[in-house]
Amino acid sequence: MYKLGIDLGGTNIVAGVVDDEYKILAKAECKTNIPRPAESVCDSMAEVAKQAAEKAGVNWDDISSVGIGVPGAVNPVTGIIAYSANLLFKDWEIVKMMEERLGKKVYIENDANAAAYGEFLAGSAKGATNAIAVTLGTGVGGGIIINGKIYSGSNFAGAEIGHMVIVKDGKPCGCGRKGCWEAYASATGLINLTKEEIEKEDPETSVMKKLAEKEGNVSGRTAFDAMRLGDEGGKKVVNEYIDYLACGVASIIHIFQPDVLCIGGGVSKEGDNIILPLREKVAGEIYKGESSCLQTKICVATLGNDAGIIGAACLENLY
Ligand SMILES: [Zn+2]
């Protein structure tokens, strides 16, 4: 049998057929094109799901179930999306609507949780029992796997690790609080740190300013690119950014002591430039306990956007 996973994003809808070895056989996609009625979004999801099956050469009858990863407050038990800021929907009976269209059992999960589950099944956290996936994007997303199951709290709204405060009365966060980890460790946080440093530099000689002008804007890569050119300002920003990243990672490790903590999202593409100093900084901040104890492996998430599709497709394993 095969499974089908759908990643319902604010920009794109991507469906993928997944085999028993967690390999994606084929994908199909379309634009999400919101705002539009929920029925119409469901029609598009059903369409790309069928297209993916066709591309994979898999008979629809050989697909056991469909899973959907959705940004927002997702209740997998009732099958209802209470609220999704990205998709502008409230109280959306998505499971009912999709089961009508697909004639299959449909499961839903928050997209960050689905991606963490994908990394746990088939990516950087494969073989772990307890794992945490951190995604560094516009915000800081998180997924928690405990004993092979997604942990999202009693109300399915847990795992919001990005909103753990690391600086009391610190920088404002989109959630309304101040000093959240997300305000510092997200790609947005990195861009802000870079801009602040550029402001302090001599505009005539600032390497980061020149790089930003060449690219058209300050990005999450600006400071890393400057660092690679040997620029002191770039090194300073990268170092400061990884300090903030390490602060949150060390706290997460203290709470969960997972086997694996993987880092994904755009910024993670820097690979060893982030992971090696991060490991060093975290090692300096955590309790060692018995030196023979298992220490959390910190690594880069390996599946990229496919993690969400694989995790969603395999949600049936959890029920
Ligand atoms: Zn926050």
Residue 178 Cα to ligand 1 middle (Å): 7
Q: How far apart are CA 51 and CA 95, in angstroms?
A: 20
Taking each continuous run of H as one helix and of E as one strand, the counts in the chain are 10, 13
Judged by DSSP in three states, 155 sits in coil
Confidence at residue 154, expressed as pLDDT on a 0 to 100 scale: 93
Burial 81-119 (b: 16+ CB within 10 A, else e): bbebeebebeebebbebbeebbebebbbbbbbbbbbbbb
Give the Cα separation of 148 and 64 in Å (integer): 21
Q: Which amino acid is it at 139?
A: G
Kindly indicate whether the domain formed by 127-300 is annotated with CATH number 3.30.420.40: yes
pLDDT for res 18 = 98
Tens-place pLDDT, residues 250-275: 999 999 999 999 999 999 999 999 99
Position 216 scores a pLDDT of 96
Q: CATH 3.30.420.40 spans which residues of the chain? A: 2-121+306-318, 127-300
CA of 145 to the centre of ligand 1 (A): 22
Query: CA–CA separation, 287 vs 246, rounded Å?
Result: 14
In this predicted structure, the answer to whether residue 290 has a pLDDT above a threshold of 70 is no
First to last CA, the chain: 17
How far is Cα 101 from Cα 84, in angstroms, rounded to an integer? 22
Beta bridge partners of 92: 81
Distance 140 CA to ligand 1 centre (A): 9
- The matching CATH number, chosen from 3.40.50.2300, 3.30.300.30, 3.30.420.40, 3.40.640.10, for 2-121+306-318 is 3.30.420.40
Q: Is the pLDDT reported for residue 278 higher than 90? A: yes
Q: How far is the CA of 172 from the centre of ligand 1 (A)?
A: 8
pLDDT in tens, 76-112: 999 999 988 778 888 999 999 999 999 999 999 999 9
